[in-house]
Structure 1
């Protein structure tokens, strides 16, 4: 829809985009041209059309601003991934689909190992660069239909939608290798990335809270096995 600012601007009609004045003239063409009331009515109609189009343009602009704010509210500013709020919404949506359609999937929790030492040794800017690199690897090596998030600190989560446990384990092994062999350059040094994964399938009877708890337990078990 085209925005109107004056009588010469365009409006949308059933036959296409036409000037407001032309549309007003068409709508009043059966009125006697010499009547002052007809001329006044035509001017009022032109103004009403222009005001209506201005209102529509302002509404569209407000809707765009709301969409931007909603995106910011569910997006992590460091990585560009979903934040915890956005991820929880995605998890509830995935569970709703599995309850309605029987769709199954897998929840993956990813926690960075030794991340505090990165911040302590190199500073928070270096830590943010590591987080950004992790987010980039996770998003590049998952599907568009999957949901990837930084859910807090150095913890990430992935919803692998419509995935079997065997298929998810293959994907996680790939992500595990990619992350644990990656380094991030920082002022002449290479900061190694280390991460542990926890993987649990979900189905129609699962709840988000218990899924997160089970995935966390699996991740910490993996972390302990690496430390031993």
Structure 2
């Protein structure tokens, strides 16, 4: 029997990068997967690729920072699958720069995508999980939630918030059999890094599939066990003592 057979997973930001890798790993282990992202073209391409493997896939365009769109997403998931067993909050945005030069628009874009979106999706999933007294919520954080870099105020603040939200959600979910965990990736070679030129040749990187393997381990523990927090980073990446 596959590890996620008969499970329904919702994955946000699932059109590429970490989200796509997690969706692929979960589908390969038998899960029915609901994918959402803002970019409809790349979302449909990912859905088509996964469906070609025989996976049961639902794809919906959704901006997770918009309450009405999140509610519509979970209504569609409920109509199609009848429940939600796993939610992976992966959607987010990155912006930064010197604090005195940051615009409010840049700040709001990151906070809304990373933190408000995580809250809205967690709330929607929680409402479906609570009557069934079971469910797992996995938030994708960042090592920036613990050791920020210079020029990353919006992202660091958002990811610190995600880690705090994770702990509060775990407490609220405890009486109802709902676990909430946070996975903090280090450097991952995702499309954004490649397209923006953020990757230097000597900077250690992981593939998204490494994060997907960790995510799968965290959501497939026994129901009474919570893998509360994990840090996954390239062996050679500066983390302890990073500046």
- Asked whether the two chains share a fold, i.e. TM above 0.5, the reply is no
Structure showing the higher helix proportion among its residues = 1
Work out which of the two has the higher radius of gyration on C-alpha atoms and give 1 or 2: 1
TM value normalised by structure 1: 0.24
